[in-house]
Amino acid sequence: MKNDITSIRHAIRDIPNFPKPGIVFKDITPLLGNGALFAKTIDILADRYREQKVDTILGIESRGFIVGSALAYKLKAGFCVVRKPGKLPYDTHSASYELEYGTDSLEIHIDAIPKNARVVIADDLIATGGTAAATAQLVSKLGGTVVECAFVIELSFLQGREKLQPYSVFSILQYDSE
Ligand code: AMP
């Protein structure tokens, strides 16, 4: 397991100053491109939730769709999405969250989650936690229970975990600094 995690870490590429100066972007495309490591990543998450009676995996646009749908398949759970405004065709609920400058929002179909569903929220990475916190709000609004928020990568130094309280957070890899 420790070796697997080290291999996963080595398959993530740092791209300095993307998408803007000062940000180190964690590029997971080399990880996704390696079949064995992509499978290991999903297996780690699936092992964690296998006994948790998860009904639905909720993927956050857009890399959360990749991680989340593979996890849903593995767990035989349903899969649903939260998207940027204006992308979903049916009636939606929305939740706003703060960015460094201004606010952004996310939308979910009003019938995306069965009533009382046990939901795991999935994304590639947690930074400040704003995106996942807004997503957790949407799950609550739809009457679902957040089992946990699951990430491949956690930028621990940004303390996104705190913003997500009282929700539980799991990440495969933690980074203490950029
Ligand atoms: P936050 O709301 O600050 O936790 O940001 C999380 C969202 O932004 C996730 O959907 C990530 O994919 C993306 N993101 C934020 N920072 C980075 C980064 N340094 N590298 C890659 N993706 C990032």
Q: Where are the domains of the chain?
A: 51-175
Report the pLDDT value the prediction gives residue 90, as an integer from 0 to 100.
98
Tokens describing residue 18: 């993307």
Distance 153 CA to ligand 1 centre (A): 9
Pocket flag, ligand 1, residue 128 (CB < 6 Å): yes
Query: Which residues lie across from 122 on neighbouring strands?
Result: 59, 150
Identify whether the C-beta of residue 42 lies closer than 8 Å to the C-beta of residue 74: yes
Pocket flag, ligand 1, residue 125 (CB < 6 Å): yes
Pocket flag, ligand 1, residue 66 (CB < 6 Å): no
- 30-53 average pLDDT score: 98
Distance 63 CA to ligand 1 centre (A): 10
Q: What is the DSSP-derived secondary structure letter of residue 67?
A: H
- 60-67 average pLDDT score: 98
Residue nearest (by alpha carbon) to ligand 1 atom 9: 125
Across the chain, mean pLDDT equals: 97
Other Cβ atoms less than 10 A from the Cβ of 90: the count is 8
Identify whether the C-beta of residue 78 lies closer than 8 Å to the C-beta of residue 56: yes
In angstroms, the CA 19 to CA 29 distance is 15
Q: How far is CA 68 from CA 79, 81, 146, in A?
A: 7, 9, 14
Q: How confident is the model at residue 1 (pLDDT cuts 50, 70, 90)?
A: confident
Percent of the chain at pLDDT above 90?
Answer: 95
Which is nearest to 27 in space by CA: 43, 9, 42, 44?
Answer: 9
Note the pTM of the prediction, 2 decimals.
0.97
- 38-50 average pLDDT score: 98
Cα Rg, the chain, nearest whole Å:
16
Task: Name the residue with higher pLDDT: 98 or 168.
Answer: 168
Pocket flag, ligand 1, residue 106 (CB < 6 Å): no
What class does CATH assign to 51-175?
Answer: alpha beta
Query: Which residues lie across from 109 on neighbouring strands?
Result: 92
Decide the pairing of beta strands 145-155 and 169-175.
Answer: parallel
Which is nearest to 41 in space by CA: 53, 51, 28?
Answer: 28
- Ligand 1 mutation pick, 15, 131, 137, 163, max ligand atoms within 8 A of CB: 131
Q: How far is CA 41 from CA 48, 54, 166, in A?
A: 11, 18, 25
- Ligand 1 mutation pick, 125, 156, 174, max ligand atoms within 8 A of CB: 125
Report the pLDDT value the prediction gives residue 88, as an integer from 0 to 100.
98
Does residue 99 register a pLDDT over 90? no
What would the pLDDT profile of 142-178 be if each residue is shown by its tens digit? 999 999 999 999 999 999 999 999 999 999 999 998 8
- 41-55 average pLDDT score: 98
Does residue 79 register a pLDDT over 80? yes
Pocket flag, ligand 1, residue 63 (CB < 6 Å): yes
Percent of the chain at pLDDT above 70?
Answer: 100
